[in-house]
Amino acid sequence: MKKITNSINNFEYNSDKKCLEGKVGQTNLTLSICEIIVAEIPEIKGFIAEAFSVIEPINGEHRVPNVKFQKGDWYVKILITSGHKYFENNEINNFCFDENTEIKLKNGEIKQIKDICIGDTIIDGGKVTATFKSTSKNQEMYVLNNILVTGDHTLLDEELGVIKVKKHPNSIKYGEYYKPFVYCINTTTKRIIIDNIKFLDWDEVDDMDIVMLRQEMKDLLPERFHLKDIHKFLECGLHPNTLIELDDGRSVPIKQIQVNDQLRFGEQVLGIVEINGKDVDKVKEYEINGFKFIGSSNLRMYSKDLGGCVSTLDMGGIPVKKPRKLYHIITDSKFLRINGTIFFGIQTNYLTVLVLL
C-alpha cells in the first residue's frame, strides 16, 4: 500500500463548504481514487472532490491564498463527511499589541508590554497570569487612540459594547508592520486596561463564557466559578523541561523553544506562552501508554487507546512540586506531538491528514 502523508498546515478548512483545501506534494498517484484517513482520529471521514496538478503556483494560491504552491504540486479539495467538530474555531488567535505598548501597573510603574512579567499587577488590580510572544507575520495592525494593536483584538466600549478593534469607528489601519513579534498577556480580571480602553486579554472570555463553563463543566469546577478562577482551574501548561522534537533531530526543553522554530512533524511555532505555575490548582505527573509527562489540569490530548480526545482534568496523576513557570506553544497546525502523543495547543484542535491509496 502506497501512502502520501500530508500535514494539516498545508490545508485550510472552509466551514461553509465543509471541506479542506490545500496541497499535496508532487506524486505519481491518482489522487481522485485515494481514500482520506486521519490515522489518529478515525471519526473523521471524507473524500477528494477535486484535484489538479499545478502548472503555475498562482493557480493553486488563487484557491488557497495562505498556502504556497510550487510547480508540480497538486491542489486538493477534500469534502469532510464526518468529524467537522475537529475543524471548528480553526483561526489562530491574533490578539496582540506592539512591543512598546505601555501598561500601567497598580504601583504606578509603567512597563512596555514586552517587559511585563508574570505576577505583575496592572492598574485594575488584575494579576498577570501568562505572557504571550507571537510572530507578527500576517498580522493586520490598527491604531486606536495611539495604541498599536492587531485588528482582531476585542475591546469593551461603553457605547458600542463588545467590538473588534478593526470595527471600531476610531481605529485606523496601520501600514506595513516590520517588527518580528507582537505581545499579549492574560490576567485574573481577564481585562487589559490601556489609556482607559478596556481590552479583553488573550483568552477573550466574558461573563457569558463563565455561565457556559459552569454548565458544561459543573462536575469539574467549583460551584462559585468566576473569571478570576480560569487561570487556577483551566490553565493548560507543560513542565519547563518537557522535551520537544525539532525538525533538525534535536530534542530541547519546551522552555527553550523560540518563535519560528520548526518542529519534527512540520509544525511551525507561531508563539510561546509562559504561565504562572505556582497559582494553578494542580500540577501532576500523568502517563499515557508508558509516556510520562508533567503539566496542569487542563491539557488536552488525543489518544486512541483512551477513546479519543482526553483532558488531564479527567485523569488521575501523581501530584508533584509546582514549577515557577509552565509553558505551552502556539503552532500553525494547532497541535504538537510529544513522544508520539498529540497535544492540542492553546488554540484548540487540529489534525494531520493522511491521504492513502
pLDDT digits (tens, 9 = 90+) for 229-240: 889 988 899 999
Task: Decide if pLDDT at 355 tops 50.
Answer: no
Residue 354, domain member (yes or no): no
Residue 357, domain member (yes or no): no
CATH number of the domain at 170, please: 2.170.16.10
Shared-domain flag, residues 52 and 144: no
- Residue 350: the pLDDT is 27
Per-residue pLDDT band for 276 (boundaries 50, 70, 90) equals very high
State whether the Cα torsion 170-184-335-86 is positive or negative. negative
Percentage of residues in the chain with pLDDT exceeding 70?
A: 82
Long-range contacts of 256-265 (CB under 8 A, 24+ apart): 257/327, 257/329, 259/133, 259/134, 259/135, 259/180, 259/181, 260/135, 263/331, 263/336, 263/337, 264/337, 265/7, 265/337, 265/352
Instruction: Say how far apart CA 96 and CA 34 lie, in whole Å.
Output: 41
Instruction: Say how far apart CA 261 and CA 269 lie, in whole Å.
Output: 5
Task: Decide if pLDDT at 204 tops 70.
Answer: yes
- Residue 352: the pLDDT is 34
Shared-domain flag, residues 160 and 194: yes
Shared-domain flag, residues 46 and 119: no
- Residue 30: the pLDDT is 62
DSSP states of 58-90: HHHHHHSTTS---TT-EEEEEEEEE-GGGGTT-
Range of lowest pLDDT (37-41, 208-212, 244-248): 37-41
In three-state secondary structure terms, 312 is: helix
- Residue 40: the pLDDT is 53
Residue 289, domain member (yes or no): yes
Beta-ladder partners of 269: 331
Shared-domain flag, residues 83 and 109: no
Q: Does 352 or 128 have the greater pLDDT score?
A: 128
Out of 199, 222, 245, a domain closes at 222
Shared-domain flag, residues 199 and 251: no
pLDDT digits (tens, 9 = 90+) for 176-197: 999 999 999 999 999 999 999 9
Shared-domain flag, residues 217 and 239: no
Residue 228, domain member (yes or no): no
Average pLDDT over residues 244-267: 93
State pTM to two decimals.
0.74
Instruction: Say how far apart CA 133 and CA 128 lie, in whole Å.
Output: 14
Number of domains in the chain: 3
Residue 96, domain member (yes or no): no
How many Cα neighbours within 13 Å face the side chain of 112? 7
Shared-domain flag, residues 239 and 292: yes
- Number of helices and strands in the chain (H, E): 3, 29
Shared-domain flag, residues 117 and 215: yes
Out of 161, 191, 222, a domain closes at 222
With contact defined as beta carbons under 8 Å apart, do 260 and 245 qualify?
A: no
The two most distant CA atoms of the chain are separated, in Å, by: 66
Average pLDDT over residues 320-331: 95
Instruction: Say how far apart CA 343 and CA 340 lie, in whole Å.
Output: 9
Shared-domain flag, residues 107 and 218: yes
Task: Decide if pLDDT at 319 tops 80.
Answer: yes
Shared-domain flag, residues 115 and 216: yes
**The domain containing residue 154 runs over which residues?**
102-222
Residue 93, domain member (yes or no): no
pLDDT digits (tens, 9 = 90+) for 95-108: 799 999 999 999 99
CA 58-332-206 angle, to 5 degrees, is: 120
Task: Decide if pLDDT at 356 tops 50.
Answer: no
Percentage of residues in the chain with pLDDT exceeding 90?
A: 46
Burial category of 318 from C-beta neighbours within 10 Å (exposed 0-12, middle 13-18, buried 19 and up): exposed
At position 115, the amino acid (one-letter code) is D
Task: Decide if pLDDT at 77 tops 70.
Answer: yes
Instruction: Say how far apart CA 207 and CA 130 lie, in whole Å.
Output: 20
Closest C-alpha to 95, from 134, 152, 39, 52: 152
Residue 356, domain member (yes or no): no
Shared-domain flag, residues 247 and 318: yes
Shared-domain flag, residues 9 and 58: yes
Residue 210, domain member (yes or no): yes
Out of 193, 222, 251, a domain closes at 222
Query: Which residue in the block uniquely carries the three cell numbers 518542529?
Result: 263
Cβ-proximal residues to 314 (8 Å cutoff; 6+ apart), any chain? none
